[in-house]
Structures are given as C-alpha cells and as structure tokens.
Structure 1
Amino acid sequence: MDPRHKKILQRNRTNLVKDLDPSDVYDGLLTRGVFTQDMLDEIKSSGTRRDQARQLLRDLETRGSRAFPSFLECLREGGFESLAVLLQSGDPAGQPVPNPLNPVIRPLPVCPVDVRKPDKIHSGPPKEVPLYPTEIDTLPSPSPERESPRPRQGRTRRDSIQNYKMDSSPCGICLIINNVEFEQHSELKNRNGSDVDSDRLERRFKSLNFDVVVKRNLKYKQIRQELAALSKKDHSIYDCCVVIMLSHGTEATHSRFPGAVYGVDGTSVPVQIITNYLNGQHCPSLQGKPKLFFLQACGGGEKDTGFEVSPDEAQPSMGGSDDQMDAIPVSSSSDSLSMSDEPDARATLPTPSDILVSYSTFPGYVSWRDTKSGSWYVETLDRVLELNAATDDLVTMLMMVNNEVSQISAKGLYKQMPGSFNFLRKHLHFQAPSHNQFPT
C-alpha cells in the first residue's frame, strides 16, 4: 500500500474502529481480491466487532496498492458513505472516488465502433474504463502488471508472512516478576544476582518503548493475582504484551508449555497457566497481538555436560566460579493442572496463537546464573537485543541467544541450551531506539 494511504488509515483508525461494521464490507473485499476467504476467516475470529475492525485495518495495510481504493468502494457499498468521505478528504492528491449510487461508469461496446460512422473501426487497443480513477488512468495502455492488480488467488496468509503491528507508543506493558529471597520453609536458596537480571531487562524493555512494571518476591497467589490483573487491563491501545519471570523453576505436568515457576513460598505456577492468562479467550484486547514470555528458571534438575566438537566450533568459556543453578526437583501433583474450579487453569483450552515462550534452558535441565553478573541467558538476551533489535526480528534474535549461550560453560564442564515454543504468526520487530545504548 502507498505510504500516503497507510497514514490516512492510521490517522482515522479511531473513527473507523468506532463506526465500521466489518461484516458489511467482507464480501466486497473478497470479490475484489483484497483478501482470500482464509484471511477473512482469521479476521472474523479476532473477537468483537471492534477487534475485527482493528485487525482488518492492520491487515489492509499489507494488501498492495489497490487495497485502499477498493476499501473506499466497499465502504460506499456497505453504507459507510461518511467514512469513505473522511478517508477521501485525507487524500487531496488523489481523485474523488465516485459514489456507486450515482456512478460515472458507462458500458463498453463489444468493439470500439464510431456510432456516427458504423463502418469505421477505431485503430489501436480499446481503453479499459476503470471503476474508479487511479494512477492507472494516466497510462495510454495498461501494462500486464497493471491489468492484474489483484493479489494472486489461491494463496493463504501462511504463504505470505507479514509483520506484527508494533508502532504504538508505548508499544505495550512489560511485567517483570523477580523472585530473589525465598521463605525458609520452601527449602529454596536465595537467587543472588537476579536483581542484576531484573534491572538489565527493565532498562532494555523501556528502551524498546514498553511500560515496565517490576514486582519482587511474590508468593504463588501473588503471582497469579498480578497475571490476572494484567489480563483484565484494556490493551486496545497497545500492540504487544511481555511477561518476564525470574525465579527457581521445575518440571510440571502439561499439555502445551512445559515447566513451572516458583513463588517465594515454595509453590509453583505452571507455565501453561501463566500463558493462559493472556491467551485470546481470557484477554480479548490482546487477541491477534503477540504475547511474549521470557523465563529465567530451570526446567528440571538435570545437568548437561555437553559433547565434544571440532576445534573451530569451540568457544572460550564465559562461565564463572560463582555460577549457581535455578533447579528444583519435579513438582508434586498438588502443583499440576487439576484445579478445574479455576477457569484459567483448564487444560481443555485450544492451543493459543500469537504466543512465544522463551526458556532459558531446555526442559528438564538446569539454568545457570552468576551471583554477581546475573544469568547467562538474560545477559545474552540483553546484549543481542541491544545490538540487533534495529535490524532483526525476534525469532532470529532468539536463535542468536541460543547459539551464544550454548558456547558458555559452568565450572568448565556444564552447558546450557535455551529454546522457545513459538506460536507467533508473523515477524515481530521491536521499536529499536536510534541510539540503543544505556547511559553510563
């Protein structure tokens, strides 16, 4: 889409979302080839009328140069004349779009015959009479590309990878839960060095234009209360939501996302429940928007000693003598997902879309943390975001994190392999600052 038309849509987004009923324009957009049926079905599944309108406008910006004039036509046909006029008035460089109630279209003859001289046939190719004026009209004869402005049929959204909208200011809320000091009865050691991780990520996500909220030393119920409060917020003005958990962790029964994170009272919250709070069913205002979870916690108690590689694969060890692990044995059945009396804990919910869970370590293994400089995973994640957020998408950067952390050794022996469960549908690019450095 022409950048000028994108700006018009963005400038009038509030009025469009408020007044537009997308169901009245779906058929027109389908017949004009702006969207395929699969694309429209995905938009329809995004939630309420406003949510559908909001998603429609986002996706419309990606549908090529003819999407804007086609959308104006559909607005008029659907009875949204005032919205069409509003958008047209914001495009002074463009020519007026005719009202279908008073069309300026005239039928074409079978061949271009001069009615005054029936025996005289016009030479040269017949000119196409468009449904609405566009830049094509200025050409003496449309090129093959211009004659086929509609998107190729038969291609679904998954074959045309797009970018998530990430230009709101602020971009979204980032909740950091930093559990450092554990109650004595929990038999869990304090996590020295975790404050370094928390401070580092707070600064980083503020630099990426997020509103950052930090909570320290939360018990099991407090963790769930914070997540519930986050899910009840209206995220309509935001494009994304981030949850960062810094704590001890363990394995847990699951059907989608493995692992669990401990409260300072020694009771763990399964990762599956953590993600459920923000899925499309429990947080409608985040439907269709990316929900990102970063977990610095162990996935179990097993230590990875690695395996031998060729000399050119070997990297210097970055681990220190103060490395500790965030590992706890497998959680008990009391921490499983059997709490059927709580809606957010049901294991029967459909697999959520637009969610990415990044783990500091492979499920079942320990995650290493230096008591002075923080965890390997967070330190590496912060550095990769600093150096690459302006150019690379999130999934690419997480692969960089995986590679760098895999080269580190604890006590010259133990290794760590981060990874993620990725249910994102599009590329995600953060809002990188122009000078992506922290003040000294």
Structure 2
Amino acid sequence: MTRISKEVHIRNWFEFFSRVIMDARHKKILQSSRSMLVRELDPSQLYDGLISRGIFSQDMINEIKSAGPRRDQARQLVIDLETRGSWAFPAFLECLVETDQSSVADLLSAGLGIQPPRSLPIQPIPIHIPHNDGTQQKEMDKSDRGHIFRKDRHDHPIQCSEGDEPPSIPRIRRDSLQMYRMDARPCGQCLIINNVEFHPNSNLKNRTGSDIDCARLEKRFKSFHFIVEVKRNLTSQAIERELSALSQKDHTAFDCCVVIILSHGTEVNHNRFPGAIHGVDGPIVPVQNITNYFNGQNCPTLQGKPKIFFIQACGGDQKDTGFEVSPDEFEPAAGGIDDHTDATPMSPREELGKDSDEPDARASLPTPSDILVSYSTFPGYVSWRDTQAGSWYVETLDNVLEEFAGYEDLLTLLTMVTDKVSQISAKGIFKQMPGSFNFLRKRLFFQVNY
C-alpha cells in the first residue's frame, strides 16, 4: 500500500468513526441532563423526525416505545441516543425545535455555549432492519394517531382508546439492550424479613427502631408496584424456609425480585462472599446461602431478571472512626439521638455504652448474573441504627428513592446513598460506609408513578 493510499485509508476510517461515535461533550450533556429530559421531554413528538434523519430505525423506535410510560420512553430514548453517532445530538436538537420543545433544546445547547439549531444540514444514515417476517412495518395512519397501540402475543396490533385499560393479554418479556424491563404489573415479589425481638438465650439485643425501617421500605416498594410480604421475628430456620418458598414461586409474569433483611449480623468464614445474618434464636444464615436460593439454577423463572437484596445488618464488630478531610469538602451530619448497632455482642471494653449501635451483616453473592446485594455497611464494620428514627442506611435509602428513583438507575441511587451515609457521624466519632456487590448486566430503573 502506497503512502497516499494509506493516508486515504486512514482518513476514511477517521470519517467513519466521526460519523458513528458521539462527541464526548454531547454524551456528557445528555448524561448530566437526563433527569431534566425524563421530566420534560415528550418523546412521541420526536420519533418521526429521528427516523427520517436516519438516527433510529422503526424497529428501534418500537423498542423505545415498549419501555412503558412517557418518562420511561424518554429515559430509554436518551440512553439509546448516546450510541447513535456524531449526528445524533444535533439531529435531536433540531427535532426538539421542530416539535415546539425549544426550551429543552435551549437548556441542552447552553451546555455547549451555542445557539439552538434551526435547520442543520443533517445527512440521514441508511438503516434497514427487517422484521422477522421480512416485511416493513407500515407507518401509522394519521387518522389513527392519538390512540394507543399494543401488540398481542403474535405481534398483532391491538387498538384501545386513550385512558382505557389495556387488554389483558399474555405478555412477552424482553429487555432492551441497556435496561432491564421493569414494566410488569405487579413488577415482582418483595420479601421483607424484620427481626426485632431476639430470644434471651441468643445474647442479642432487641432492634428497637427496626419497625420504622420496615414500614418505610414496605411503603416504598408497594409504590414501585411490588407485591410486598413482611415476615417478623424469624428464626434462622424460618428465614431459610421463607427464602426457599419465595424462590420456588412462579416468577414468570414478573420482572424482578427483591429481598430485604433487617437483623443482626456477623462475620463468617466464606469461600466466595462474606457475611451472615442472625435469626431471632441466634444461629446465622450466610448471605451467600440467601442469594443462592435465587440464582439461575435454583430459581429458573427468575433467570435473566434482576434479583436485588438489601441487607441492614452489621458486617463485623469494627467501628470506623473515619479520617479527616477538608471542611470545604462536606459538612458531616450528626447521627441520631439514640444510635444502636446491629452486630453480635461486643466485649465491655469495646462497648461504648448501652446506646451504641450493633454491626450489620456482610452480604455474599454467588457467581450467577443479574444479582445485586446492597449492604448497609462496609464488610467487617458495624452499622448504626437510631432507636427512634430507624437505621441510617434505610432512612437514607428511602429518601433517595423517593427523590430520584424516577430519574436515576439503581447503581446511581446506591452511590448517592453511600455518599450521604458516609457523611453522618455517631456520637460525633463513628462513621459508616454502605456498599454493593453488583452482578447486574443492565441498568435498572424502578417504575414510579407521579
């Protein structure tokens, strides 16, 4: 190959990548503006323009429409837009202006320091993805606009008027490329195990304040369209029975499964993942065993679906005193007036007094995919619980879910929780750091009604 032909070859590749890779600035603006876009965007007005410009094919738009209500479609559109090349962002801005959504275009354009586009010379990218039967889907007739179209199990459209209940038909579950499908109604099963009162011979204190945590999470996950079942004061054997019973249910019609455990915890020897939680009688159940009930082998109807575990329990008996940071970074928040831990008993020399918190259990994950375990504390350390306000972790988790679950995915939400909890101090000294073991393959957004 001659020097000139090499230069032409390199230039051709450069031009190709400039077409198919979105500018990093554009992607950053879309990501930082996602909450605003989910709140303000009307994606249904943009579909025709994005198809005509070659940014999306009709099948891609159908996939976005299948994400669910307007907010979910807007979120999926913005996420998918990041993968559609360098022309996608200016085409998106132009479509916003054409559909009288200029205020949204202005906000996005302000991030680049440019004026919103009015008539950008955008070349369409030819995209052709045939349907399974080899035919092209016909564009919706204008007289049919304003109606809702759903598909039955044979992919045939079903028409119903706006506001009517959609027909009850068998539902084919399909994730998008980047998001778990979470639009089943109900979305899934949610089991809350709330251990409050422990047997005297267990040498474990009662967990005053845990009922507050339980009530918060029960209300929250009902609002996310889960079937919530609460079990109180279970022995270790009863915990295993409930987990086994839940894993043996038929989850075919659901999109997700959530298990929440509020109890005392401790460290255990482990071959993969640390931590265990106590039954009210004292014996422990390793978190590794808890998650194993729901892996792909033991619970086939949850294969490929997210299994989420929230553990409010100690991961050990160490108390984290933190480290000094600049006061400009953040202002530490004070803990509750009556903080307790969810740990196994500590020696009198280690115990600061009857009002100190007990440590929470460390969680463990099996290797199968689609599992996430969120811990209230870093492995080996205590987790703090206010007897009058509930645990730091659950209170913060509930607040973050209430404010941001409609806009952000689960991992982003848990990062917010970690940041907020890390800024709280118990007795002005001790700290806590939540964390997660994540084996999810896609983003997970809870379905929120507003």
Q: Same fold (TM over 0.5)?
A: yes
TM-score (norm 1): 0.61
* SS state at 1:215 partner: strand
Deviation at 1:433, TM superposition (A): 1.6
| Pairing partner for 1:283 from 254, 275, 299 | 299
2:443 aligned with 1:427 = yes
Q: CA RMSD in A?
A: 2.8
| Pairing partner for 2:417 from 377, 380, 401 | 401
1:199/1:350 Cα in 2 relative to 1: closer, same or farther (>3 Å)?
closer
| Pairing partner for 1:71 from 111, 132, 138 | 132
The equivalent of 1:413 in structure 2 is: 429
Deviation at 1:327, TM superposition (A): 1.1
Q: Deviations over 1:37-85 (max 9, x none)?
A: xxxxxxxxxxxxxxxxxxxxxxxxxxx9755x332249xxxxxxxx999
| Pairs within 5 Å for 1:222-241 | 222-241=238-257
2:229 aligned with 1:213 = yes
TM-score (norm 2): 0.60
Residue type at the aligned position of 2:133: L
Contact 1:257–1:421 under 8 Å retained in 2: no
| Pairs within 5 Å for 1:1-80 | 2=59, 5-6=62-63, 66-67=128-129, 69-73=130-134
The equivalent of 2:157 in structure 1 is: 90
Taking the aligned partners of 1:414 and 1:174, their CA distance within structure 2 comes to 32
Taking the aligned partners of 1:85 and 1:254, their CA distance within structure 2 comes to 45
Contact 2:204–2:345 under 8 Å retained in 1: no
Residue type at the aligned position of 1:72: D
Deviation at 1:353, TM superposition (A): 0.5
Residue type at the aligned position of 1:292: I
| Pairing partner for 1:271 from 283, 287, 290 | 287
2:378 aligned with 1:311 = no
Taking the aligned partners of 2:325 and 2:64, their CA distance within structure 1 comes to 52
* SS state at 1:272 partner: helix
| Pairs within 5 Å for 1:289-328 | 289-328=305-344
| Pairing partner for 1:178 from 194, 197, 203 | 194
1:393/1:187 Cα in 2 relative to 1: closer, same or farther (>3 Å)?
same
Taking the aligned partners of 2:198 and 2:63, their CA distance within structure 1 comes to 51
| Pairing partner for 1:250 from 252, 266, 284 | 266
Taking the aligned partners of 1:8 and 1:358, their CA distance within structure 2 comes to 31
Taking the aligned partners of 1:305 and 1:8, their CA distance within structure 2 comes to 49
Deviation at 1:91, TM superposition (A): 9.1
Count, aligned residues: 287
1:85/1:397 Cα in 2 relative to 1: closer, same or farther (>3 Å)?
closer
Taking the aligned partners of 1:8 and 1:413, their CA distance within structure 2 comes to 51
The equivalent of 1:333 in structure 2 is: none
Contact 1:180–1:192 under 8 Å retained in 2: yes
Residue type at the aligned position of 2:387: T
Residue type at the aligned position of 1:302: Q
| Pairing partner for 2:374 from 358, 367, 376 | 358
Contact 2:272–2:366 under 8 Å retained in 1: no
* SS state at 2:437 partner: strand
Contact 1:261–1:270 under 8 Å retained in 2: yes
Contact 2:258–2:309 under 8 Å retained in 1: yes
Residue type at the aligned position of 2:308: L
The equivalent of 2:101 in structure 1 is: none
Q: Deviations over 1:203-234 (max 9, x none)?
A: 00001111100000000000000000000000
1:265/1:84 Cα in 2 relative to 1: closer, same or farther (>3 Å)?
closer
The equivalent of 1:191 in structure 2 is: 207
Q: Deviations over 1:312-360 (max 9, x none)?
A: 1232423023000111269xxxxxxxxxxxxxxxxxx961100000000
Structure number, greater radius of gyration? 1
Contact 1:323–1:410 under 8 Å retained in 2: yes
* SS state at 2:257 partner: strand
The equivalent of 1:57 in structure 2 is: none
The equivalent of 2:89 in structure 1 is: none
Residue type at the aligned position of 1:197: D
Q: Deviations over 1:346-392 (max 9, x none)?
A: xxx96110000000000000000000000000000000000001100
Taking the aligned partners of 1:65 and 1:223, their CA distance within structure 2 comes to 53
* SS state at 1:71 partner: coil
**What residue ranges of structure 1 are gaps of 5+ in the alignment?**
12-63, 75-82, 93-159, 331-348, 435-440
Q: Deviations over 1:279-334 (max 9, x none)?
A: 1000000000000000000000000000000011232423023000111269xxxx
Residue type at the aligned position of 2:434: P
* SS state at 1:428 partner: coil
Taking the aligned partners of 2:209 and 2:366, their CA distance within structure 1 comes to 37
| Pairing partner for 1:261 from 265, 277, 280 | 277
Residue type at the aligned position of 1:233: K
Taking the aligned partners of 1:200 and 1:421, their CA distance within structure 2 comes to 23
Residue type at the aligned position of 2:157: G
| Pairs within 5 Å for 1:91-110 | none
Taking the aligned partners of 1:205 and 1:84, their CA distance within structure 2 comes to 29
Taking the aligned partners of 1:305 and 1:4, their CA distance within structure 2 comes to 52
Identity of aligned residues (%): 64
Taking the aligned partners of 1:266 and 1:84, their CA distance within structure 2 comes to 51
1:390/1:7 Cα in 2 relative to 1: closer, same or farther (>3 Å)?
closer
Residue type at the aligned position of 1:247: S
Contact 2:314–2:383 under 8 Å retained in 1: yes
Contact 1:161–1:427 under 8 Å retained in 2: no
Taking the aligned partners of 2:157 and 2:212, their CA distance within structure 1 comes to 49
* SS state at 1:72 partner: coil
Taking the aligned partners of 1:399 and 1:377, their CA distance within structure 2 comes to 12
